[in-house]
Amino acid sequence: MDEAVQQFVERMGLVCEKEGMARSAGRIFGLLLVGGRPFSLDELAEKLQASKAGISTNCRMLEQFGMIERVSSLGDRRDFYRVQDDPWEHMMRVAQQRWRDLVKVLGEAQATLPPQMAEGKRTLGTALQFHQLLIRDVDRLLEHWHELQHAGDPGTPAENAA
C-alpha cells in the first residue's frame, strides 16, 4: 500500500480514537476516504491487516453513524463499503444529538433541583442557553454548507473538463 495512504490511515485512526470511536474504525474510514471507490470486507481486512470479524463490526458501526454506506454490485454477493455522499453532515448530526441529550439532562436537573440551590440553577440555565444556541448553530452551519456545495454543483459542467 502507498506510503502516504498508510500514514494518513494511521493518523485518521488516532484522530478518530480521540473523538471516542475505535481506532480501527478510524482506519477504515481513512482508507475509504482516499480510496475513491468501494472496498470489500476482505480487501479492507487485507489492506489494514486486521481480522474480517473486526472489520465487519466496525463497518457496521460506521454505517450506523452514517459516515460510510454499504453498496452492492450486480452479480457479486460481497458487500462493498464506501464513504457517504456527505459524511461530515452525518457526523455533525450525531454531535448535535449528543448536545440535545445534554440539554435534556440539564433541563431535568434544573427543574428538579431544590429551590435553595439558586446559584446552581442559574449556572444550569446558562448552560442550557449555550447548548440550545449550539444546536441551532449546527442547523445554520449545515444549511450554509449545502449552499456552498450546490454552488459548485456539476449541474452545469462549465469547467469540469477531466
Partner DNA sequence: CTCATCGTTCAGTATTGACTGAACGATCTG
Partner DNA sequence: CAGATCGTTCAGTCAATACTGAACGATGAG
Residues of this chain that interact with DNA (CB under 7 A) are 21-25, 40-42, 49-54, 56-60, 75, 77-79
The one of DNA, a copy of itself, none whose footprint includes residue 56, by CB under 5 to 8 A per kind, is DNA
Residue of 36, 75, 115, 155 interacting with a copy of itself (CB under 8 A): 36
Sign of the Cα pseudo-torsion (12, 14, 19, 20, in order) = positive
Grid cell 484522530 in the structure block, residue: 15
Per DSSP, the chain holds a count of helices (H) and strands (E) of 6, 3
Q: What angle do CA 143, 64, 48 make, to 5 degrees?
A: 110
Nearest CB to a copy of itself, comparing residues 56 and 86? 86
| Beta carbons within 8 Å of 49's beta carbon, 6+ residues apart | none
Minimum Å gap between C-beta 32 and DNA is 14
Nearest CB to DNA, comparing residues 28 and 124? 28
The one of a copy of itself, DNA, none whose footprint includes residue 52, by CB under 5 to 8 A per kind, is DNA
Cell representation of residue 123:
449556572
The one of DNA, a copy of itself, none whose footprint includes residue 60, by CB under 5 to 8 A per kind, is DNA
Q: Which residues pair with residue 80 across a beta bridge?
A: 40, 71
Strands of 79-83's sheet, edge to edge? 39-40, 79-83, 68-72
**119 contributes a contact to a copy of itself by CB under 8 A:** yes
Taking alpha carbons only, the member of 31, 102, 97 closest to residue 62 is 31
Q: Which chain residues interact with a copy of itself by CB under 8 A? A: 2, 4-5, 7-8, 11-12, 15, 18-20, 33-37, 83, 88, 92, 98, 101-102, 105, 108-109, 112-114, 117-124, 126-127, 129-131, 133-134, 137, 141, 144-145, 148-149, 162
